[in-house]
Amino acid sequence: MSPVMTRRHRRLTGLALLAVAAALQGGATDAAGDQLYPSGPPNGVAYIRFVNLAPREVTIVSPSAKIAIPADDQHRVGQFDAVTPGVALTGSAKLGEASKPIDLKLVPNEFVTVVATAEGANGLTLTVFRDVPTEFNALKSSLALFNVDKGCAQAQLVAGGSHMSVIAGVAPGAVGRRMVNPVKAELGVACSDPAQATPAKLGQLAAGERYSVFVAAAGASGHEVVAQRDEQALFRP
């Protein structure tokens, strides 16, 4: 088994445990009661993922599992794992000696992204993005811009040589989302002058897929952009 496979398996196992623990805490009550056969997940579904935008590995610890999120671009964005809505998801994130608590409750159909950055008083900040998508379309691609940069007051996602605005006015700590045609476009993230956008390399967008673009602070006045297609773990009720 390759190192990547080993690490991915560990991630899946860890987050699956987190999800199972959440379901158990919730009592797993079946609202349908005497239903003959299942139809849909009995407790609804929400999704959580962790993203590491710090320069070193971040560890997420839950009551039932511990996972490490590497700091390289290929692995720093975790996959969405299904959890039970309304159940407290507790734990902590650790970056070196720094630690921050995690205590979240998700609503049905919510996608929560917890982003760790190496900033703040003790060198670790968690930014929680809450997104309840209402539009799903297999003919379109869904683009989301997550602004993790406190110095970027109005982040925007621009496309093409003319820097056409795709998503605009995303404040720090907020997420903007838009459905677009599945095209191959040169995307970039700008905080002021669109002509100075930092590239967000997603390549050819695929119909029906969802993509995330993160902008974070880098250095004195620069911006770091991480962009990739969303991955979602399979969930069976």
Partner 1 sequence: MNALLAGLAVLIIGDSHMVTPNHLITTLHDDLVAQGATVDTYGMCGAVAADWIYPATVSCGKAERHGKEGPEIDRTANTPTYQIETLLAKHKPNLVIVEMGDTMAAYGQRDFPQAWIYQQVHALTGRITAQNIPCVWVGPPWGTEGTSYHKTFTRVKQMSEFLATVVAPCQFIDSTQYSKAGEWPTIDGQHLTAAGYKTWGADITSSLDQIAPQLEQRP
Give me the residues that bind partner 1 (CB under 8 A), please. 31-42, 44-45, 47, 82, 85, 108-109, 111, 133, 136-139, 207-208, 232, 234-236
Beta pairing class for 141-147 and 155-159: unpaired
Are the beta carbons of 106 and 131 closer than 8 angstroms? no
Q: How far is the CB of 105 from partner 1 (least distance, A)?
A: 15
- Which of these, 98, 54, 61, lies nearest to 76 by C-alpha position? 54
Which residue number, 164 or 207, has a Cβ lying nearer to partner 1?
207
Q: How far is the CB of 114 from partner 1 (least distance, A)?
A: 18
How many Cα atoms occupy the beta-carbon half-sphere of 138 within 13 Å? 0
Which residue number, 41 or 96, has a Cβ lying nearer to partner 1?
41
Q: How far is the CB of 106 from partner 1 (least distance, A)?
A: 11
Q: How far is the CB of 15 from partner 1 (least distance, A)?
A: 15
Which residue number, 34 or 193, has a Cβ lying nearer to partner 1?
34
Q: Which amino acid is at 110?
A: E
Q: How far is C-alpha 220 from the geometric centre of its chain's CA atoms? A: 25
> 115 has which bridge partners?
51, 127
Q: How far is the CB of 107 from partner 1 (least distance, A)?
A: 9
Are the beta carbons of 81 and 15 closer than 8 angstroms? yes
Which residue number, 34 or 72, has a Cβ lying nearer to partner 1?
34
Which residue number, 82 or 227, has a Cβ lying nearer to partner 1?
82
Burial code of 16-31, b = ≥16 C-beta within 10 A, e = fewer?
A: bbbbebbbeeeeeeee
Are the beta carbons of 92 and 65 closer than 8 angstroms? no
**What Rg, from alpha-carbon coordinates, does the chain have?**
18
In order of 17, 115, 227, the CA distances from 59 in angstroms are 15, 12, 21
Q: How far is the CB of 204 from partner 1 (least distance, A)?
A: 15
Which residue number, 85 or 91, has a Cβ lying nearer to partner 1?
85
